[in-house]
Chains A and B, each alone.
Chain A
Amino acid sequence: MTELALHILDIANNSTRAKAKNVAISVVADTAADTLTITVSDDGCGMDKELLERVTDPFSTTRTTRKVGLGIPLFKQAALLTGGSFSIESEPGKGTVTKAVFGLRHIDRVPLGNLGSTMTALAGGFPDTDFTLLYEWDGKKYEFSTVKLKEVLDGVPLSEPEVLNYIEDMIDENIENINGGQPI
C-alpha cells in the first residue's frame, strides 16, 4: 500500500463486512512522542479468540474465511517497519478495535495520503454505516461525522457523486488547515 489512508480504507472495509453500524477512525500525530497512531473501532460482529489469533497471519487464509487475508498483516507490517506497534482487540457481539502505532518521522513510514478520498469511498460505498474521523495533530483536532451530514442532507443519499466530491474537499481542506499544509 502506498498510503496509510489506503490501509485505513481496507481495515474499515473489514468493519463493514462485520456488519458494523458505526465505524470510528482516528489518526493522531504526536510530534513530541514521534508517533502517528491510527485506530479503527467498530461495533460489528467481532471475532472469537480462535479467529483473532489467526487474523494477523497472512497464511491462515482459506477460501471459506475470505475476510481474513492480507489486509491486517500488511497494516501490521507497515507499523512494525517503523519501530511501531500493532494490536487488535475483539469480542464477539461487541466489535473490534484495530490499532497501529507508527514512528512519525521514521524513514520507512508510508505517507498518510489522502484521507478525504478514503472517507469518501467509505461513506459512498456503505451509506447505511456511519463513519466518524478524528484527525489530531499535537492536540489540534478536526472531527468528521456522516451522522451530521445525513441530518443536513435530509434524505438525499451520501452516495450522490456531487455530495461525495463536497465531502472529500471539505475533509482535505480541514486537515490541511490543521497542520499548515505540510505533507504527512
Chain B
Amino acid sequence: MKTLEELQAIRDKMKERINNRGIAGENDYRVVVGMATCGIAAGARNTLKALTEEIESRHLNNVILSQTGCIGICKYEPIVEVFAPGQEKVTYVHVDAERARQIVASHIVNGKPITEYTYSYAVKEN
C-alpha cells in the first residue's frame, strides 16, 4: 500500500528539484491535451497518462503538461499540441498512448517532430 511517508519522500525530492529548475518560461515545452467530451471518448485520458509517465520516467523538467477543451476537430481526437521553445505549434492527431510516448521521445527529447502524426499530414492524406 502507498504510505504517507512515500508521499513525504516525493515531496522532499520534488522541492529540491523545483528549486534547481529555475523560473519557468521561454525554454519550456508546452504540451496540451484536448480533454473535452470528444477527446475523453476517444481515449485522451490514456494519452494524458502516457505523457505523464513518459515525462516522469525521462525526468523532463522543462515540460509543462496541461489540458484544454474542444479544439474543434473532434474526429481527429485525441489531439495533442506541442509548443516547442521558439517554434510554431505542432498539432498531433489520433494520439494514443503509443504515439504519445513516441512524440515525447522524438519531438521533445530529440527535437524532431513526427510529421506523419500531425494534423496537416492527416488532412493532406485524406
Contact = CB atoms under 8 A, between A and B. Distances in A.
Contacts of B69: 13, 17, 66
Interface string B28-49: 0000000111101100011011
Contacts of B8: 152
A120 interface: yes
Interface residues of B, number: 31
A97 interface: no
Interface in B61-114: 65-67, 69-70
B51 to A, nearest CB: 9
Given A9-B45, A152-B4, A161-B65, A166 B10 contact: yes
Interface string A167-184: 011100110010000000
Contacts of A125: 35, 48, 66-67
Interface stretch (A42-50, A69-77, A85-93): A69-77
A32 B37 CA distance: 33
A157 B2 CA distance: 19
Contacts of A164: 52
Nearest to A152: B7
B41 A120 contact: no
B10 A162 contact: yes
Given A6-B41, A6-B45, A74-B37, A121 B15 contact: no
Contacts of A170: 2
Nearest to A113: B45
Residue of A114, A121, A177 with highest tally of chain B CB at under 10 A: A121
B23 interface: no
Nearest to B14: A156
Contact of A124 (B10, B52, B53): B52
A160 B14 contact: yes
A6 to B, nearest CB: 5
Interface string B8-20: 1011011100100
B125 interface: no
Interface string A38-81: 00000000000000000000000000001001110010000000
Contacts of A166: 2, 6-7, 10
Contacts of B10: 156, 160, 162-163, 166
Nearest to B52: A161
A71 B40 CA distance: 10
Q: Which of A160, A165, A166, A170 has the most CB of B within 10 A?
A: A160
A10 B65 contact: no
Contacts of A66: 69-70
Contacts of A168: 49
Interface of B: 1-2, 4, 6-8, 10-11, 13-15, 18, 35-38, 40-41, 45-46, 48-49, 52-53, 55-56, 65-67, 69-70
